[in-house]
Amino acid sequence: MPDRVDQPLPSDWEKLNAFADGELAPAEQRAVAERLASSPETAETLRGIVRLKQELRALPADEAPLRPPLSAPPRPRLRPLAAIAAALVIAAAATLTPILLRRDTAETFLAASLAAHEQFASSAPRPLATVAPTAALPVASELARLGLQPIWQATSAAGQVRIGFVGARGCRLSMHVSPHAEPAPVPDQGAQTLAGWNAGGRGYLLIATGMPPARFELITGFIKALTSEPADRVEPLRTALQNDWRSAQPCLA
């Protein structure tokens, strides 16, 4: 029987659960985030656990167990929602790896961006009327001219700006901008779908789902030049990208 090397091991569940709650040290967070970037199976479990936790938060209050009468002596026990959450996580552990990033300010830029991209990539597209003015606005305008429409935007408590785009052929691309320079992503975690750089005192990260590697490389080169190069060096890349876009095939997703 072939080995399933990408599948999370049972021994990983405790660490991944701590990662979901933002309780890991930065170095451990980065290690888990790198695995998320390189393992489609692990990324898929993120989408499952996001749905699971959303369902948990949506439970009506009247489904919670009733408290004992006031006259009864107090007994130590789990709070109702905490007990339900623990039961659901334990029950899902055999089939889902719990990876959910919830506290953007406590996580590394890479980990938070990967989690945000997975949530965006699994959501239904809803076009934005406008993109709020941010450091990412010039790039968003350029991508819109190519047919990549912004459908999601968010700003974290740490000032990190995120914009998600969807193309006419189904590609999902997200851009993440940090207000300060960030460590470069580890190069062996799938460079075709993940690219990061620093320019103008900011950190930039591009993440794609289902996009052909050659097209992602073209987009990355263009946006990197747009954020850090003079205009005369940007124009040739813009032309090459437009030519590629006209003959592009549907995305892989």
Q: What is the pLDDT of residues 49-70, one digit of tens each?
A: 656 656 676 666 555 445 554 5
The answer, yes or no, to whether residue 235 has pLDDT greater than 70, is yes
Residue-level pLDDT at 195: 92
Please report how many Cα atoms fall inside a 13 Å half-sphere around the Cα of residue 102, on the Cβ side. Answer: 14
C-beta separation of 107 from 158 below 8 A: no
Which range (30-39, 157-166, 180-189, 208-217) has the least confidence?
A: 30-39
Tokens of 97: 């790896």
The pLDDT-based confidence of 179 (bands split at 50, 70, 90) is very high
Find the mean pLDDT for residues 178-192: 71
The model carries a pTM of 0.57
Handedness of CA 212, 200, 137, 133 (dihedral sign): positive
List Cα–Cα distances, 98 to 15, 44, 59, 90, 123, in angstroms. 9, 10, 19, 10, 18
Residue-level pLDDT at 213: 84
The answer, yes or no, to whether residue 107 has pLDDT greater than 60, is no
The pLDDT-based confidence of 203 (bands split at 50, 70, 90) is very high
DSSP H helical ranges for the chain: 13-20, 26-38, 40-57, 80-92, 109-121, 137-145, 213-228, 231-246
Which H or E element spans position 149? strand 149-155
Find the mean pLDDT for residues 239-246: 78
The answer, yes or no, to whether residue 230 has pLDDT greater than 70, is yes
For residues 115 and 147, which has the higher predicted lDDT (pLDDT)?
115
C-beta separation of 110 from 196 below 8 A: yes
Of 87-91, 105-109, 121-125, 200-204, highest mean pLDDT = 200-204
Find the mean pLDDT for residues 195-201: 92
Residue-level pLDDT at 215: 84
Residue-level pLDDT at 87: 46
Alpha carbon distance 217, 223 (integer Å): 10
Residue-level pLDDT at 170: 78
Percentage of the chain exceeding pLDDT 90 = 11
Tokens of 215: 């097209």
The answer, yes or no, to whether residue 86 has pLDDT greater than 90, is no
Residue-level pLDDT at 122: 81
Of 45-49, 62-66, 76-80, 139-143, highest mean pLDDT = 139-143
Convert the pLDDT of each residue in 23-36 to its tens digit: 666 667 667 776 77
